[in-house]
Structure 1
Amino acid sequence: MPSPIPVTRLLPKDIYPSVDIGTCSSPLTKHSHVTTLQVPVQRLHGRVASRLWSSVIHWKELRSMQSVGSGGFGSVYKAEYLGDTVALKKVKKCTKNKLASRQSFWAELNAAHLRHTNIVRVIAATTCVPADFGDESSIGTILMEFVGSRNLQQIIYGCAEPLGKDRWLRYSTDIVHGLRFLHSHSVVHLDIKPANVLVSNEDVCKIADFGCSLKLERGCEVSSISPHLIHVGGTYTHRAPEMLKGEGVTPKADIFSFGITFWQLITREQPYTGDRQHVLYAVVAHNLRPPVHNHPAFESEQGRLCRTLLSRCWSGDARCRPSSQELLPHMEQLRSHT
């Protein structure tokens, strides 16, 4: 079935057509013309070409699959693949919203061609799933590096271990590094929140879950939201006001979401309480934000610097927010005060 998402919003032109390998049918079709994804087979650890992901999964090489979690659009498993530990994500059809689930699968591949320390790496993805591994509710499968079993949501709220200043500042800086790289490649994540930031065994943060992401047109800083792109939006507690109003998408939407996440790392509290619709209305109409004034976490000199930075990151006017590039020196300044 044709997808309303233009090819240029999903993958850069230099990825296809390419060399070698089988093809995988894509919903990026226009009427009778069929578009296929063709990319080089990729082995792990750079054993072939490490820059690109593959549209072929060697199913017989998958071993020891163990369920590690599930969500609205799919399930995640830990597995062995070609001798390495990987994460396998099965994206399922949402019976209530089949178009949204298809869009979510293809949006997951917006950053598949990118390689960065603070971004979860995609190894392979395909819609061609053998009967032994798939089911009728499956849209496709994505193989990714296995980062670990922890995310920031669990670290902030689910464990008693201390989260010192040096640690939450390092985590926050990791996220900004990842965002800067994504934005430099015209990818906007649109769902930055603690649950979507994985933490490796080396205590490094990696941005994951690109199911809400968009690929901006090259040279464009703003993209209008097509009425067909129903997956766009992200989690309401972290969604920028312009997104709530249905305005254009820019990388500054991720900066707003980072601001809420940054506040959570500092305070280890929930950003809002109360009815969802009340929060949505108040964020747009009354500039509602998580509390910083008279909060003990923001009383020190470093805390006051954080408060100033937060006020810029979650400004109601996207033009007043710093870019991810501009954020980095501020994060380094904060780290120098620890």
Structure 2
Amino acid sequence: MAGKCSSTCPMRTEWVKGNAVGSGSFGVVNLAMNRFTGELFVVKSTSTEAGFKSLENEANILESLNSPYIIRCLGQDFSKEANGERKLNLFLEFMAGGSLSNVVEKFGGSLDETVICSYTKEILHGLAYLHRSGIVHCDIKCKNVLLGSSGNIKLADFGCAKRKNSSKLDKVQKSSLESISGTPLWMAPEVLRNEGLDFASDIWSLGCTIIEMATGRPPWGDLLLNPMAAVFQIACSNETPELPTKFSNEGLDFLAKCLQRDQKMRWTCEELLDHPFISGNRRCSCEKDACSPTSVLDDGLYEENYASDESESPHKEELQSRIPFFTRSSSGRYRMARRQHREIDLQSSENWITVRSG
């Protein structure tokens, strides 16, 4: 949706806030409903100066974008709470499937490689659009990638995003572009060394996000309990995150193209879209175990069934290819091990915050 977010902004008397569906460093995300039409959307709310800056940046970025792979901004306003607290509210499109981190957790702790291929392709389309628009997302991870009920993917949370078109930047904006933004375990080495942001930084984060989808754990998961050691290893060593053990050769090669420590060696979005892992000229190592469920109940397909209002609806065949079926044999084989690690992973990852500076 191009144009200013405020063009379709709901008036304060026209919407009602529902239950919280998420939270972040800026504040809380709630489900919301239009009082007159019943339309569902989400509202991000904050009452802190840092939160105002983050949400205003997100609104400014989103108002200039128009892509089926980017979350739509529906408007923003200020409200006054009963205690006199002033809040900034940002209204955003509702995605019924939630974040990919939620999806991974609900479907056994990891995704099948064929599903990862499908999701990665759409993430790449979103990143390619952003990079053509001169924007670096700066915080690509499963939590910031949302899933629609039909399996369509959209990039979200642009609070850290930065414009890279130097011809339109003043000194303050250029300084902001050089500042650190994102979540440390997903950050590229050059970003943690404070050497500046580039489109290649998003590609490193994409590689880390694929590892997250495949393993159910953050990249560098063995260093979760030692944040300083993790930051030092990412920034200064010659190592890369541990790769998924059950990935195909094409998948491992794709990750190698994303996780080049020299940012000049990383492939671009356009190059990665032509890689066999994405283009379809491949055979996953998991295909020999794959089978379709005998009924919807086999894989708990969706708890909710929301219709998509997306203007550029995918073809039926594309929708069918996105449905997140998982191989019974692989999900059963590793479910116990993943369950043992999941609780400590979730607890320890709470110590990691999203950095929003500049």
TM-score bin (small chain): 0.7 to 0.9
CA-to-aligned-CA distance 1:232-282 (integer Å, 9 cap, x gap): 421111001111011121111100100111122233343222211111111
Percent identity, please.
26
Q: Distance in 2 between matches of 1:284 and 1:251?
A: 18
- Aligned-pair distance for 1:287? 2.4
Question: 1:108–1:260: structure 2 CA closer, same or farther, 3 Å change rule?
Answer: same
- Aligned-pair distance for 1:152? 1.0
CA-to-aligned-CA distance 1:78-117 (integer Å, 9 cap, x gap): 1122622111111230xxxx4x433312221212321222
- Aligned-pair distance for 1:288? 2.6
Q: Does structure 1 residue 80 correspond to structure 2 residue 33?
A: yes
- Aligned-pair distance for 1:54? 3.3
Which residue is 1:35 aligned to? none
Which aligned pairs between 1:37-76 and structure 2 lie closer than 5 A?
Answer: 50-55=1-6, 56-63=9-16, 65-76=18-29
- The range that moved more, 180-189 or 230-239, is 230-239
Letter of the 1:92 counterpart: S
Which aligned pairs between 1:294-305 and structure 2 lie closer than 5 A?
Answer: 296-298=245-247, 303-305=248-250
Which residue is 1:337 aligned to? 283
**Are 1:225 and 1:249, in contact at CA under 8 Å, matched by a contact in 2?**
no
Choose the corresponding residue for 1:211, options 139, 159, 162.
159
Which aligned pairs between 1:30-41 and structure 2 lie closer than 5 A?
Answer: none
Pick the structure with more helix per residue: 2
Letter of the 1:85 counterpart: L
Question: 1:333–1:243: structure 2 CA closer, same or farther, 3 Å change rule?
Answer: same
Question: 1:271–1:154: structure 2 CA closer, same or farther, 3 Å change rule?
Answer: same
Question: 1:229–1:162: structure 2 CA closer, same or farther, 3 Å change rule?
Answer: closer
Q: Distance in 2 between matches of 1:90 and 1:259?
A: 30
CA-to-aligned-CA distance 1:139-175 (integer Å, 9 cap, x gap): x211111112521112223432873222111111111
Which aligned pairs between 1:71-110 and structure 2 lie closer than 5 A?
Answer: 71-81=24-34, 83=37, 84-93=39-48, 98=49, 100-109=50-59, 110=61
Question: 1:286–1:332: structure 2 CA closer, same or farther, 3 Å change rule?
Answer: same
Q: Does structure 1 residue 327 correspond to structure 2 residue 272?
A: yes
Q: Distance in 1 between matches of 2:16 and 2:114?
A: 39
Choose the corresponding residue for 1:189, options 90, 115, 137.
137
Which residue is 1:15 aligned to? none
Q: Distance in 2 between matches of 1:125 and 1:51?
A: 15
Higher relative contact order (CA 8 A, sep 6+): 2
Question: 1:146–1:309: structure 2 CA closer, same or farther, 3 Å change rule?
Answer: same
Q: Does structure 1 residue 291 correspond to structure 2 residue 242?
A: yes
TM-score (norm 2): 0.69
**Are 1:212 and 1:231, in contact at CA under 8 Å, matched by a contact in 2?**
no
Give the total of aligned pairs. 274
Q: Distance in 2 between matches of 1:225 and 1:136?
A: 30
Q: Distance in 1 between matches of 2:271 and 2:182?
A: 24
Letter of the 2:70 counterpart: I
Which residue is 1:316 aligned to? 261
- Aligned-pair distance for 1:289? 1.8
Q: Does structure 1 residue 112 correspond to structure 2 residue 63?
A: yes
Which residue is 2:333 aligned to? none
Choose the corresponding residue for 1:280, options 220, 231, 235.
231
- Aligned-pair distance for 1:204? 1.4
Q: Distance in 2 between matches of 1:64 and 1:141?
A: 11
Q: Distance in 1 between matches of 2:179 and 2:97?
A: 26
Which residue is 1:156 aligned to? 104
- Aligned-pair distance for 1:71? 2.0
Letter of the 1:111 counterpart: L
RMSD over aligned CA atoms reads 2.8
Which residue is 2:339 aligned to? none
Letter of the 2:227 counterpart: R
Q: Distance in 2 between matches of 1:281 and 1:192?
A: 20
Letter of the 1:53 counterpart: K
Which residue is 1:268 aligned to? 216
**Are 1:103 and 1:231, in contact at CA under 8 Å, matched by a contact in 2?**
no
SS in 2 for 1:296: coil
Which residue is 1:233 aligned to? 181
TM-score (norm 1): 0.73
Q: Does structure 1 residue 125 correspond to structure 2 residue 71?
A: no
Which residue is 1:36 aligned to? none
